[in-house]
Amino acid sequence: MKIQPSAQRHSSSAIRATGIIALVCMALLFAALAASINTKPYMPPNVAQRYMEHWLIESSRQVAGEVRLKHVRAIEPFYLRRDYQPVWMDSFEITDAGRELLQALRETAADDWRNYGYELPVLEREASRLSNIPKQATAVDVLLTDAFVTYAKQVLNSELLPDLNEGDHPIRRVASSSQDRLTANGISEERIVELLHESINRGELEHLIEQLTPSHPGYLQLRNELNRYRDIANSGLWYPLPADLSLQPGERHRQVPQLRWMLSQYGDLKKGALAWLFAEDKTLTQAPLEGEAVDLSQPQFLFDDALQQAVSYFQQRHQLPADGLISAETLQTLNIPPYQIAQRIAHNMKRWRHLPEHLGQRYVMVNMADYRLQLVDGGSTELDMKVIIGNAQRRTPVMAQTISTLELAPTWSVPRRIAVTSLLPKIKRNPDYLREKGYQVIGRVDGVDKFISPDDINWSRLSANYFPYRLIQKAGDDNALGTIKFLFPNDRDIYLHDTSQPELFNLDKRALSSGCVRVEQPRLLAEKLLRGQQGWNRHAIDSAIEQTRTTRIRLQEQVPVYLMYWTTWVDDKGALQIRDDVYKRDLIAGLPPSNPEA
């Protein structure tokens, strides 16, 4: 039977329509699948409320199965005011503010100085395995809020400034609002929770976390290095090199791949210009297993020029002789475990809390551990010079002050402790010592201060317990303060000054003074600080000094000065610098806490 053309046309149209419908359905199906993939799981408010109430009311002593909340009495009313809705969670994901808080907790606790009470192991565990389980997500939120209150109390009560009872730790204050500046004395958990509530209402939760954490570039650079060394420590690949390892250029050793791996992780072994184009040959950084037979003629076992250069970079960063050779001192430094370096980095990060948020357009920065002073202007280093700091018995304190006055050709009023401990023994040995060094003696006569001849004093009768005199050294070449001193207000009688012993700047270790900071180029520093001040150019400065004419000059523009102690910092080239802990202040890392959290 012959099919009519009209029937054929209807049949073809039906087939096309069916095909189109099928394509549309498939497109809709793929769109639905894509939408489901990109759609975040949602936690309904009533579900969040139910589990929040569970953790805060029924199970506050066993959050996530084991944590007893420290601040439940303060945070339960806080959650009640917000209908028990999460603070740090967006349904089942941690918010940006929550991640910032976690980072702050990690870097604060990383020095292991004390038990900080953040319950970080549980927090990290629960955060790492978050899934679409409301009970778990709300537990993380409650734990973060409890940890926040602990952390904020520590910051605002200055508990994060390690204090060795030196009285040298200024307080960093944090503003809670434009009307209110929080004091650092005993702020309560209720006030902190109120601060948290206010910040959420203003949409400034992330800003609050930032306020509680130093924002200086130096702090943030150390944060990156802290993460680097924690990653190395957690990699499971680090182990110390053999204690008897000795390498000369061109030699071969089975541990060379491990040395290469260590230096590449630390950032000392620079990658080649085309490293991005070729995959790294992992055999170069994989040490053989113990007892494994190896062919030392293979390239990975060669102590080559690139590796020697990397060792030299490592030595420079640690202020070791930069010869590129594996000396005993270099090997000992290489074998310091990365977790200990991470502890020191975290500890030094806390030292940034001594400083104000803005250091000033122009300031003087002294790093005692590096024995150096820098004059910084607009973020650029204008001067860089050596300094001499206090010895182990008379340590220079950490201090943030302002240079207000310069004194040219200064006299020196000798502090009593120096007079009786340092000068009195010299005077007893040599009766002419005072006259030779230009000292004058002042004593009380009939209730009036008068100059007394050293010859009229029986020095043998004097001691640390009985010394009724004051000593003043006249300006001149022998004056212990040298030609200039730089004054800033403090109750420790600390200042910057010149020295009559410039040869001491040739030493590498320069913890030699009685507490003040001696500067290598005092006249140049004075010239820079007096820049633009009428009548005080370099010629005028030199003239006053040469005439031993004691002159006080008040700076028209006072300059902040920071006496700091950093044993780790990141330099202008982005390299982590590490120095000896000359004052043994880093040793508190790892000690049992003196006031652990209950």
> Which residues are the active-site residues?
497, 516
What is the enclosing helix (H) or strand (E) of 22?
Answer: helix 5-38
Helices (H), 82-133: 96-109, 120-128
Q: Compute the Cα dihedral for 291, 293, 296, 301 and give only its sign.
A: negative
**Which is nearest to 124 in space by CA: 41, 239, 234, 237?**
234
**Which is nearest to 499 in space by CA: 482, 517, 484, 522?**
482
Q: What is the largest CA-CA distance in the chain?
A: 149
230, two tokens: 């924690």
168, two tokens: 């040298």
| H helix count then E strand count, the chain | 18, 17
**Which is nearest to 214 in space by CA: 494, 566, 587?**
566
Residue 536 CB contacts under 8 Å (≥ 6 apart), including other chains: 530, 553
**Which is nearest to 368 in space by CA: 567, 160, 573?**
567
CB atoms under 10 Å from CB of 482, counted, come to 23
Q: CA–CA separation, 168 vs 562, rounded Å?
A: 12
With contact defined as beta carbons under 8 Å apart, do 130 and 140 qualify?
A: yes
439, two tokens: 């000292």
Q: CA–CA separation, 486 vs 403, rounded Å?
A: 7
Q: CA–CA separation, 314 vs 353, rounded Å?
A: 28
Q: Can you give the C-alpha Rg of the chain in angstroms?
A: 33
What is the chain's length? 598
With contact defined as beta carbons under 8 Å apart, do 407 and 484 qualify?
A: yes
40, two tokens: 């975040």
- Look up tokens 């201060």; give the residue: 449
